[in-house]
Amino acid sequence: MPDLVVRPYQAADADAVLALAPRLTEGVAPWRDPAAVERAVRGWVADAIDGTEPVWVAVHDGRVVGFVHAGERRHFTGERDGYVGELVVAADAARSGVGRALMDAAHRWAARRGLRRLTLETGAANATARAFYRALGYAEEDVRLTRPLD
């Protein structure tokens, strides 16, 4: 996407970033309560923009078309990993390089911190996101299994 700018989040971006939060509900298992899922993702995004970890926004033609939030997380082995909490791209900006540009910002941040890995999670049913991350070199590491109880 020509003229795309990726920059650190600013307080003036809050409404635009929060408006993108519902995109994080895609790929969540269909048996989960949709209202609870939406509340949770809005909470994640609000916590990210109110927190101390970095958030970057992608701006095109003066409009926020995506954001990414990064931080650190300790793996169960004790290793510190970079962690992408949320990556969101506006529906009308999907497949235009916005997600890749935002992930590049997170990759550079993690590398500058001396971290050896950047990890993230996405819904098992979110085939588009899984293919995107595979194309960026990510490999699936963990799988969560769920069984309904009668």
Residues 132 and 83: their CA atoms lie apart, in Å, by 17
| Residues of the chain by 3-state class (helix, strand, coil), percent to 5 | 40, 25, 35
Q: Give residue 73's pLDDT.
A: 96
CB atoms within 10 A of CB 6: 17
Q: Give residue 150's pLDDT.
A: 83
Q: Give residue 148's pLDDT.
A: 87
Question: Which pairs count as long-range contacts for 124-127, CB under 8 Å and 24+ apart, including other chains?
Answer: 124/27, 124/29, 125/27, 125/28, 125/29, 125/30, 126/26, 126/27, 127/27
Bridge partners (DSSP) listed for residue 55: 69
Residue 124: is its pLDDT beyond 90? no
**pLDDT tens figures, 76-86:** 999 999 999 99
Q: How many residues does the chain have?
A: 150
Q: Across residues 48-74, what is the average pLDDT? A: 97
Q: Give residue 2's pLDDT.
A: 78
pTM of the model: 0.93
Q: Give residue 27's pLDDT.
A: 86
Closest by alpha carbon to 19, among 73, 69, 71, 89?
89
Q: Give residue 125's pLDDT.
A: 86
Parallel, antiparallel or unpaired: strands 63-74 and 80-89 = antiparallel
